[in-house]
Amino acid sequence: MRCSDCPRFDEGKALCKDGKLNPGSRQGAIDVAQQFGPRSICMMNDHREMIVDVWQGNQIEGKPTRRPHTPTRRWNLEI
């Protein structure tokens, strides 16, 4: 969903009223989740469900390679 179509979008400020981010790509969604956590991604984002599944430890198609030695969860998806 485009932000401008959402009722929670403030056109005057050009920001989400909830403070959510809406990355346009899978890699962008991964970067946002790594920096700010999965709750910062808009509920209407196409990639949010995949991020939440990975965050909860579920496997997805094309299992990402993970580096377990890092203190934060990181993904390296080969798209």
pLDDT above 70 for 7 = yes
* pLDDT of amino acid 4: 82
CB under 8 Å to 68, separation ≥6 — which residues?
A: none
- Can you read off the two tokens belonging to residue 2? 């485009």
pLDDT above 70 for 8 = yes
19 phi-psi bin (left φ>0, alpha ψ -120 to 50, beta other): left
Q: Which of the four pLDDT bands, split at 50, 70 and 90, describes residue 54? A: confident
* pLDDT of amino acid 11: 87
Give me the amino acid identity at 54.
V
Indicate the number of domains in the chain.
1
- Which one is predicted more confidently, 50 or 70? 50
Give the domain extent around 17: 1-79
CB 22 within 8 A of CB 16: yes
